[in-house]
Structure formats: C-alpha cells, structure tokens
Amino acid sequence: MHDPFEKAFNDYVAGNDKANIIVHCNKGDDEIIPVSYFFRKYEEMPELEKIALGLCSGKILDIGAGSGSHSLYLQDKDFDVTALDIRSGFVDIMKKRGVKDVIHSDVFDYKGNKFDTLLMLMNGIGFTQNFYGLSAFLRFAKKLLKPSGQIILDSSDLMYLYKEDDGSYVINLNEDYYGEVEYIIEYMGTKGEPFSWLYVDFDNLSLYAEEAGFNCKKIFEDNHYNYLASLF
C-alpha cells in the first residue's frame, strides 16, 4: 500500500488509535492530525457537521465519504445513503465499518441513481482544485440530482491568511486564487503525491452556483472561517 492516507486509516482500524498524519501545505505550517479525527462519532463532530447532517433528506450521495462516519450516522438514522470515494482503501474500510452501500468511483464516472441530497463535508468540494473544476462539477451535479435536489457542502475562506497587523489584506492578484492550495500527506515517514485543493469563499461559490443553475444559501458560519452552504 503506497498511499500514506490509506495506510494510516488501515493502521487505525487495525488498532493503532494513536496514529497521526502530517499534512504539508504550501500556504501554511505543517499540521499533525490524529487519524481518529476522521473516525469520530456524531457526538464528537463540530456543530457545522451536525447541522449539515440534519439538513439531509431523501436519497443521499455522500461524495468523498472517506472513513464513512457521516454515512454511518445517516444509515443508523434509516436514511437511504450511498457512500462514494475514489480511494479503494477507503472503500474497503467503509465496508468493514458496516456502510451498506459503498461505491468505488470518481464522481464524474458515476452513472447510477439520482439523488435528493449530495453531501460533501470536510470541504469535500475542494477536490475540484480550482474555479474551472468547480464550475465543471456543479454543472455535472445537476445530472446527479433529482429536480428538487440539493447540495450540502462546507468550505473555508482563506482570506484570513493574508491579514496584516493593521487589519488590511494583501493579496497578489497576479497569482492563482488565494484559496487554491497544494497538500502532501505524510505518514510514518512516507509522503504521498502532491495534490491540489480548493477553498472557495462564499461569494465565489454563489457566483459559480448561479452560473450552474443553483440558488446558494449560507446556512452557518463558525468562528474559524468555515461555513456551511446549501445549493438548490
């Protein structure tokens, strides 16, 4: 197993509850994250995620489901939920944890049922990498949703990283959008391949949502620049 993310998850499931990953980011300091964070129960989830789960309705597709914690909660509440992830190792773990309906696929390759809710938590929308990818995904999402369907997602506005001591913000407009970052995951001395991720501010999310034919509403915002949105 070459993916350190998958190796860390498997070690945790095998009993190493002290496992940690190191997240290297090109726009911030390295961060050590306990793998247990990805396996938390409902009671341990932040308020934003609890609100998001409460907004789910009908037939649900949990996109980028990871360890399956959100899918398991919804499943236990008798929702019809399908968990989708691109990593085969995560899919195997979700099955071991008891998620009943799990799909190993890139979301753009999925051609199954239509859904009432697309759920994308822990900044799942970030997989789109940039505004071009965001636009493409939102247009594709229309094909996954029933006519009255919704997308429930969270993201963060990284503007705070550019705040000066005097309260002003300094951004180089000649560079890529400030919410585009690059990550490398490290576990037990092994680093994975770099990958791009998008943190989109709410104004830009609203703009691209509207272009794709959605209404966009901010549902909740916490004290750490994270927000929850509904697209419908």
- Give me the DSSP letters along 51-103: HHHHH--SEEEEET-TT-HHHHHHHHTT-EEEEEES-HHHHHHHHHHT-SSEE
In a domain, 100, yes or no: yes
Q: What is the pLDDT of residues 173-201, one digit of tens each?
A: 778 999 999 999 999 999 999 999 999 99
Mean pLDDT value of segment 130-157: 98
Q: What is the pLDDT of residues 37-75, one digit of tens each?
A: 999 999 999 999 999 999 999 999 999 999 999 999 999
Domain count, the chain: 1
pLDDT at 165 over 90: no
- φ and ψ of 12, to 5 deg: -65, -45
- Residue 189 has a pLDDT of 95
- Residue 172 has a pLDDT of 79
In a domain, 20, yes or no: no
- Residue 1 has a pLDDT of 53
Cα atoms in the 13 Å half-sphere on the side-chain side of 163: 9
Euclidean distance between the first and the last CA atom of the chain, given in angstroms as a whole number: 39
In a domain, 140, yes or no: yes
The percent of residues in the chain predicted with pLDDT above 70, rounded, is 100
Q: Which of 122, 120, 123, 114 is closest to 231 using CA atoms?
A: 120
* pLDDT, mean over the chain: 95
CB neighbour class for 216 (10 Å; exposed up to 12, middle 13-18, buried from 19): buried
Contacting residues for 19 by C-beta, under 8 A, at least 6 apart: 8, 11, 12, 34, 35, 36, 187
- φ and ψ of 101, to 5 deg: -115, 100
In a domain, 191, yes or no: no
Tell me if 186 sits within 8 A of 192, measured CB to CB: yes
In a domain, 33, yes or no: no
Tell me if 67 sits within 8 A of 44, measured CB to CB: no
We report the CATH number of the domain holding residue 215 as 3.40.50.150
Tell me if 99 sits within 8 A of 68, measured CB to CB: yes
Least confident of 116-120, 136-140, 166-170: 166-170
Tokens 């085969």, located at residue: 88
In a domain, 25, yes or no: no
- Size of the chain, expressed as the number of residues it contains: 232
Q: Which residue has the higher pLDDT, 173 or 35?
A: 35
In a domain, 36, yes or no: no
- Residue 120 has a pLDDT of 98
pLDDT at 2 over 90: no
Domain boundaries, position 84: 45-177+199-231
Q: Which amino acid, 55?
A: L
Q: Token digits for 61?
A: 């597709």
- Residue 4 has a pLDDT of 96
Q: What is the pLDDT of residues 108-132, one digit of tens each?
A: 999 989 999 999 999 999 999 999 9
In a domain, 203, yes or no: yes
pLDDT at 230 over 80: yes
